[in-house]
Chain A
Amino acid sequence: AQTVTQSQPEMSVQEAETVTLSCTYDTSESDYYLFWYKQPPSRQMILVIRQEAYKQQNATENRFSVNFQKAAKSFSLKISDSQLGDAAMYFCAYRSHGGSNYKLTFGKGTLLTVNP
């Protein structure tokens, strides 16, 4: 079974600075998806960014980018120019590509605080 580990329960960053959230995963599969979801205090789960394992290029979405290291099974999220609205719980998630296991496996989350 796949597992996702987020080793940083909490992180903080100054507004306008850059922060990196860590995620590692364990799998024997070669093709899969990785995601970062954001959960603000409203509790809604919001997709931040997605990476297909077969793509070597790291995904980017505006101020959000990932560092995907397939061999190391590492998938970190970098937030540049942090804003107060980035404060939230961030979840790393894994999903198999095709096959019969369709569920998202989540890490336990990293609570990000943005200081003004």
Chain B
Amino acid sequence: EPEVTQTPSHQVTQMGQEVILRCVPISNHLYFYWYRQILGQKVEFLVSFYNNEISEKSEIFDDQFSVERPDGSNFTLKIRSTKLEDSAMYFCASGILAGGGPDTQYFGPGTRLTVL
């Protein structure tokens, strides 16, 4: 069964450094998402992406964050200058949204980001 994959599984970085989290969505999916889960808190929506542009973003997704689909398979989340509070599990998800109706999102295993 196709699945969403994410690399790395764990990333440790120094505050102020740039990080890029990578995701490979399910191949025929058209919609891509990033969520994060700070330890002990809810899973929070960050951004959705369709047709090579952001379709919606949350207030968390400020100028320090960016997303890109650099090729036909990868979907990346970049944090330009990490802060301590960016430490979280970051989940990528993808969906097909066929026919414009409600969609099911399939989640990857997550990347745990630790900012020191």
The judgment on whether A and B are partners is no
